[in-house]
A and B are shown apart, each in its own frame.
Chain A
Amino acid sequence: KQEVTQIPAALSVPEGENLVLNCSFTDSAIYNLQWFRQDPGKGLTSLLLIQSSQREQTSGRLNASLDKSSGRSTLYIAASQPGDSATYLCAANRDDKIIFGKGTRLHILP
């Protein structure tokens, strides 16, 4: 059974710093790994999707990497801003079922 773990559970950093969020998964037979952002009480916004055959994806200040063999993905956020404050969820996707991690609550200090 797929298990997805995110570390750390919460993170506070000063504005402008670069940071890394970690995601690990137990079953490497995934189709893709998807990173989401969720603001309090809101739906999920897809940030990046990495196909199982890819190593990384980039969008603006965000870069996500995938290492299937070790069961790990990272989300790198460059030059963090207060607007980046949210919960970040990673999800391992196989067939029609995606398994979410519990998320990292990120707080960027102005």
Chain B
Amino acid sequence: DTEVTQTPKHLVMGMTNKKSLKCEQHMGHRAMYWYKQKAKKPPELMFVYSYEKLSINESVPSRFSPECPNSSLLNLHLHALQPEDSALYLCASSPPVGRTYEQYFGPGTRLTVT
């Protein structure tokens, strides 16, 4: 298995809803990442988990809550989002090979907040 999977592919939620995005990799990677990408913009880093511990939080609003239950799974819990949070949310993982830090991306979840 050489890929990063993300579910769901599309999500529409109201501003009062609670939903979660899921990311999985079975490549034995030691780091996992969440990115947010707006249309025609590059991905922006949100969170990094290294060996299942949160190592980087890029000052993301608390309505986004990451969780890493195990080394293969990464969740992003969403609550009370705003319409401007509508974007493509990308997950990535990185192997534990020296200083390679090569990142492998999933296909993304297209989120629409109404």
Contacts and interface: CB of A to CB of B under 8 A. Distances in A.
Contacts, number: 59
A102 B42 contact: yes
Contacts of A36: 105
A31 B31 CA distance: 16
Interface string A28-50: 00011010100001111110010
A32 B103 CA distance: 11
A96 B105 CA distance: 14
A100 B107 contact: no
Interface residues of A, number: 24
Interface stretch (B11-19, B63-71, B74-82, B94-102): B94-102
Q: How large is the interface on B (under 10, 10 to 19, 20 to 34, 35 or more residues)?
A: 20 to 34
A103 B42 CA distance: 7
Contact of A93 (B6, B56, B103): B103
Interface string B23-58: 000000001010000000111010010100001100
Interface of B: 6, 31, 33, 41-43, 45, 48, 50, 55-56, 88, 90, 92, 94, 99-108, 110
Given A32-B102, A43-B6, A97-B48, 15 more contacts: A43-B106, A43-B108, A44-B43, A44-B90, A44-B92, A91-B103, A93-B101, A95-B101, A96-B56, A96-B94, A96-B101, A98-B103, A100-B42, A101-B42, A103-B42
6 contacts: A31-B99, A31-B100, A43-B107, A43-B108, A96-B50, A97-B56
